[in-house]
Structure 1
Amino acid sequence: MVDLIRVRSLTVFGKWRPFFISNKMSLLRILDLENIENLFDHHLEQIGKLHHLQYLSLRGCMGIFRLPNSLGNLKQLQTLDIKQTMIRNLPKTIINLRKLQYIHAKIISWGDVSYKEMASTFYEDLPRVLQNKACLLTLVSASFCVLCYAPQLIDIEEDDVIIDRRCLCTVFCCFMLPFIIRELQLYGIVLPRGFRKLRLLRTLTGVNIAFGKGILKEIKALTQLRRLAVTGIDKKNCGEFCSTLADLRCLESLTVHSKPGLQGCLDGVSSPPKNLQSLKVSGNLVKLPEWIGGLNSLVKLKLHETMLSELDATIQVLGKLPNLAILRLLKNSFKGEELNLTFHREAFPSLVVLQLACISHDLRSVEFGEEATPKLELLSFIGYYPFAYKNAGMFSGLASLPSLKEFMLDNAYAVEFLTDVQDQLDGNPNGPVMKRC
């Protein structure tokens, strides 16, 4: 038996075996419950007794829908990791944690779909009346009430864990009810009022800014932020969001996500953080904001579902970024007919890693000109499945990349394509190898 009076760090693997959090664990500094099965909200009710706790991880615990108010007693807490949980709202008492520096959050989504999209996808075979929001809410409410008042149906004992009515009520109240009524996307957490008091916060990820007028004002007051990831940007709040970025002068990493799209939403950034080193954008941009071309400190850039229409102009802008080392162009980052991606002479002087993954259905060629990407070491390519590229000239210029070490591919390609790529790699004096991811 571990002496919990003296233990200062506890990491649990596998399935949760409930134990009572007591004063005997008062010296605990680290509690890591990542990916624990059968961990539910009521197991955390006494978490506030761990007065010396500095690190708490619930990452991957899909049975956690809310954090208890007793979390506010953890005055020494510095890191809270709730990624890949079902938590949508942080408790109001979290504003008492004045030493908190890192909040990692990102709720699991069903493809970031809205209620209407789910209804059309999952209920399209049902009668139209059951696709109505009010009818669905009534049906779901009745189902949960039946389960809650019939404990013999739900008190299922499995590996010393009881799935009881508390768990079902939490699922309904904290997850299903808000999703159906407000038609929320299943992505991001909502911050409580007064969050600005956490002045030491350096990392804040997975925040939904679409609900609550004061959320961006709270974030603007967190001037020590180094890393920020937000979702829910739209036409209504984009102006204030752009203004917020101007005040976060210490920001080094920024992630923005919007399911409806980002077209025109980021154009109002007049004074981007000068020290920004990492930028990830997910959402329909159509056109690259001009300020991105002035990010001279940028090291990492990822574009996803941006649907950029000006391929050549975008690549020319990005190619002039002096410190860009990692470029990831992911699913539908570009749109157009018969796109030809060309890396010109002296472009991307610091690029080391280039990932091209399903960037467009219409991508026809990728060309590397002489003296382009001189430091490129890793090139990764994934085409749209099941479209197997049979074009032997899909890639060109691979033999002229002086620093190339690896060319990574998935498995959906014809022999002619693979042979052509291998011949180019064989002609490269640096001896790069082809690998399958």
Structure 2
Amino acid sequence: MYAINVIDEGTSSNAVRDRLHNRHVASLFIEEAELVGIDQPREDLIKLLVTAEDKLKVISVVGMGGLGKTTLVRKVYDNEKVKGWFNCHAWITVTQSFTYEVILRSVLTQFYGVRNEPLPERIDTMEGIQLMETLRVFLQDKRYVVVLDDMWHINAWECLKYAFPNNGYGSRILITTRNLDVGISSQETSGCVYNHKPLPPAEAWSLFSKKAFRNIPGGVCPPELKALSENIVKICEGLPLAIVTIGGLLSKKGTFLEWKRLHDGLLHSMLANNPNLQPITRILLLSYNDLPHILKSCFLYFSIFPKDHTVKRITLIRLWISEGFIESEKGETPENVAESYLNDLIDRSMVQVAEHYDHGRVRSCRVHDLIHAIARLKSKEENFSTTLVTRNSQVHERIRRLSIHNNDEDLKDISLSHVRALFIFGANSLLFSSIRNQFHRFRLLKVLDLQGAPIEKFPIEFGKLLHLRYLSLRNTKIRKLSKSIGKLQNLEILDLKGTYVSELPKGILKLRKLRHLLAYHYYTGRLPSFYYSNGVKLPEGIGRLKKLQKLTYLAANEDSNIVKELGNLTKLKRLGVMKLRSKDGANLCSSIEKMKSLLSFSVQSIRTDEILDLKSLSSPPPVLQGLSLRGPLQTLPHWISSLNNLVRMRLRWSRLKEGSLGPLQSLPNLVELTLIHAYDGFKLHCQRGGFKKLQILDLEQLMNLKFVIVEGAMPNLRKMYIRGCLQLKAAPLGINRLMNLKELHLFDMPDVFVQRLRKNGVEYSKVKHIPIKRTYDNEDTIYEEL
């Protein structure tokens, strides 16, 4: 019920690699069959939402923690019928410590983002009444649906209700809450309270069996475990979170004695500090206690982040590595081992996947609020981390990891000599000024995360952090690094993404342990730009940093020596090179051939008329999964046809001639293909049987394109985007046979083309099977359901 899904993975001598591959593929095909007891409640709520009643209606889903209210409402919110019925959608997690200005900004951001409209000016400085008025004006002529998830107190609704106008268009608000009073209080507007119940015994057993016996042929309970299993399900009291968690835990137990030991512990485990959560937390605590020691540290890291905080997968992995949590395994990189740890936590239902990339890989994760409570409880018991949320918070005299949440408390009276990691969430100038004066006291600091902090200059005090391994200045306003960066000789990760740093000092060459260097910011204008991001200029000698695994993005400019030096970085897995000249192509190819572990490669020419000369690459990286080429190509490089592991391909401003895409069509694992100003032909003809695994096709600004033929190709296509292809005469031929196609998005397409696909259009029959069909006007930034 909580959408915490476990993938069968089998056994293999290369266990870590197999687990990663299986998860990336299987995550694309998670089915609702994994859920139990959700069908009827989902249909009930959909009927309440999708009705002809024009009044604003508020539906409150009420029930105790652990019943699956959020999962149920998420399935309703993501339902294709619901998506098509409303033209504005927003999902907000309220939580106990809500701030209604933050909520209103989040609602506005989601509404404008979904409709591809620019946010109002000064939204970050608006106060509550201004935000409310802005939201009401925006919604006055729209049918909207808003989910307010996890609302704890009546005053939360009292603060928010006036922001949502009863505009007569049949808008809906869905609330999930544990408090019946909240549900009742919201009914002064038309609506109802929906009481969500625990699972009945038969469905509870079905859900338990799916989790606990997933590794047994047929999913049947062995006779010797039947009595224990039935008693465990009874103890879980129909709470889906408890059933999923304990079932996932038991699936890893192979003997009767292991099951008996867990069963007996289940009978006696209690969480005395929070009696309201005892039915659930006693089970979650068992799951924590069953974790191997190293996984406990990895799990407890979630206690550092605020409740409901989503953490990027790669960020979590880098933090674990920097902390020294990752035990190396023979033949595996720390990154792969760390990812296997994360997958293990997901399998044990301790961590949830929050978001996947379109191509299937886990992008971000989170923990359920109750599991977050377990992490905070155990973190406090074991002095793993200390969180400052309010002023004068009680802290341990020996703080190991310090996390500051929207707090400006002065640190001068707090012992900092044992702090290994420092995180700041919602930093202000006063707080950072206080911390800056204390850096000499952080003698053991390994991790410093100042993402989004109000910093404009690189503090020279950083040079005192001699043990620092991880430094994130992401999304700060820093423009230049000082030479003191060279003192951080233990630094492994330097994150400058979203800053204005354009050149790195020579001191960077002293960081011989550096493994990840991110230094770029994206172009943020409305119109597409050839230079979609700005990289950094590196000093000569960058080839000395032989441990680098990620380098994005290097601005080559006119420095041929830098391109040659890249050949020394043989451990690179991800590389981005910008402003490349044609004459540097041979040197770049020579360097790339030495990178046998390269997974992702992005290259951009210095100008729109400068050819990307990559033909001399005779032996491309064998495990390459992502390739982005920006700039004119005389033809597709011959070596592309050998990229059997390629998943994502993006071509921009390539100017390829008609019939030149043949090498891509036979790639066995290509999932995503994007063509932007990349194809000059009149006809794009996909061969029958081509693009067998393609799921996402994005055609943008193909100015000569008149016909697209997909007949007999792309059997697994799920999403199609067509943007600004102004000469396109008709819907792709064969689109009516793409039975897996779920979404068709048209941006800035001529009216005559769009009219053919509307319900009264001559080609509507070809696309009527597609659940989501939308046309967007880039000038007015609005969309219309077809």
TM-score (norm 2): 0.42
Say whether residues 1:382 and 2:719 are aligned partners.
Answer: no
- Name the amino acid aligned to 2:715: P
Deviations 1:345-365 (A, max 9, x none): 10001111111122x222222
C-alpha displacement of 1:109 = 5.9
Say whether residues 1:416 and 2:755 are aligned partners.
Answer: yes
What is the SS of the residue equivalent to 2:659?
Answer: helix
Residue of structure 1 aligned with 2:639, choices 291, 303, 306 = 291
- Name the amino acid aligned to 1:78: E
- Name the amino acid aligned to 2:448: L
What is the SS of the residue equivalent to 1:317?
Answer: helix
Deviations 1:377-404 (A, max 9, x none): 11122125xx597x4x233322201321
1:27-46 pair list within 5 angstroms: 27-37=444-454, 39-41=455-457, 43-46=458-461
1:267-346 pair list within 5 angstroms: 267-308=615-656, 310-314=657-661, 316-330=662-676, 332-336=677-681, 339-346=682-689
Question: 1:67·1:90 contact (CA, 8 Å) conserved in 2?
Answer: yes
Question: 2:581·2:612 contact (CA, 8 Å) conserved in 1?
Answer: no
Instruction: Give the gaps of 5 or more residues in structure 1.
Output: 112-183
1-structure distance, mates of 2:727, 2:415? 58
Summarize the Cα distance change of 1:436–1:343 in structure 2 as closer, same or farther, 3 Å threshold: same
Deviations 1:130-163 (A, max 9, x none): xxxxxxxxxxxxxxxxxxxxxxxxxxxxxxxxxx
Residue of structure 2 aligned with 1:198, choices 545, 549, 565 = 545
C-alpha displacement of 1:110 = 9.3
Say whether residues 1:74 and 2:419 are aligned partners.
Answer: no
2-structure distance, mates of 1:302, 1:347? 17
Deviations 1:393-427 (A, max 9, x none): 2333222013212222336553513325643232x
1:136-147 pair list within 5 angstroms: none
Instruction: Give the gaps of 5 or more residues in structure 2.
Output: 1-408, 526-530, 777-786
Summarize the Cα distance change of 1:185–1:78 in structure 2 as closer, same or farther, 3 Å threshold: same
1-structure distance, mates of 2:447, 2:711? 52
Q: Which residue of 1 aligns with 2:692?
A: 349
Residue of structure 2 aligned with 1:57, choices 463, 472, 475 = 472
Worse overlay, 320-329 or 232-241: 232-241
- Name the amino acid aligned to 1:380: Y
C-alpha displacement of 1:320 = 1.0
C-alpha displacement of 1:210 = 3.0
Q: What RMSD in Å do the two structures reach over aligned CA positions? A: 2.7
Deviations 1:68-102 (A, max 9, x none): 11112223322112123222221222222222111
Question: 1:329·1:357 contact (CA, 8 Å) conserved in 2?
Answer: yes
1:155-194 pair list within 5 angstroms: 187-194=534-541
C-alpha displacement of 1:223 = 0.8
Deviations 1:98-128 (A, max 9, x none): 22111112255699xxxxxxxxxxxxxxxxx
Q: Which residue of 1 aligns with 2:577?
A: 230
- Name the amino acid aligned to 2:468: L
Deviations 1:50-80 (A, max 9, x none): 223322222333x322111111222332211
Summarize the Cα distance change of 1:262–1:252 in structure 2 as closer, same or farther, 3 Å threshold: farther
- Name the amino acid aligned to 1:394: A
Summarize the Cα distance change of 1:288–1:4 in structure 2 as closer, same or farther, 3 Å threshold: farther
Structure with more helix by fraction: 2
1-structure distance, mates of 2:645, 2:479? 38
Deviating beyond 4 angstroms after TM superposition, the runs of 4 or more aligned structure 1 residues are 107-111
C-alpha displacement of 1:36 = 4.1
C-alpha displacement of 1:313 = 2.6
2-structure distance, mates of 1:297, 1:407? 27
C-alpha displacement of 1:275 = 1.4
Give the fraction of aligned pairs with identical amino acids, expressed as a percent.
31
Greater C-alpha Rg? 2
2-structure distance, mates of 1:210, 1:200? 24
What is the SS of the residue equivalent to 1:247?
Answer: coil
Question: 1:85·1:108 contact (CA, 8 Å) conserved in 2?
Answer: no
Summarize the Cα distance change of 1:186–1:299 in structure 2 as closer, same or farther, 3 Å threshold: closer
2-structure distance, mates of 1:278, 1:25? 40
2-structure distance, mates of 1:395, 1:266? 32
- Name the amino acid aligned to 1:199: K
1-structure distance, mates of 2:756, 2:468? 56
Residue of structure 2 aligned with 1:220, choices 545, 561, 567 = 567
- Name the amino acid aligned to 1:230: V
1:251-270 pair list within 5 angstroms: 251-260=598-607, 261-263=609-611, 265-270=613-618
1-structure distance, mates of 2:660, 2:624? 22
Q: Which residue of 1 aligns with 2:741?
A: 404
Q: Which residue of 2 aligns with 1:119?
A: none
Question: 1:249·1:274 contact (CA, 8 Å) conserved in 2?
Answer: yes
2-structure distance, mates of 1:52, 1:212? 33
Q: Which residue of 1 aligns with 2:707?
A: 365
Q: Which residue of 2 aligns with 1:8?
A: 421
Higher RCO, Cα 8 Å, sep 6+: 1
Summarize the Cα distance change of 1:101–1:366 in structure 2 as closer, same or farther, 3 Å threshold: same
2-structure distance, mates of 1:300, 1:290? 17
- Name the amino acid aligned to 2:622: K
Q: Which residue of 2 aligns with 1:394?
A: 731
1-structure distance, mates of 2:415, 2:445? 8
Question: 2:583·2:613 contact (CA, 8 Å) conserved in 1?
Answer: no
C-alpha displacement of 1:264 = 5.7
Worse overlay, 27-36 or 277-286: 27-36
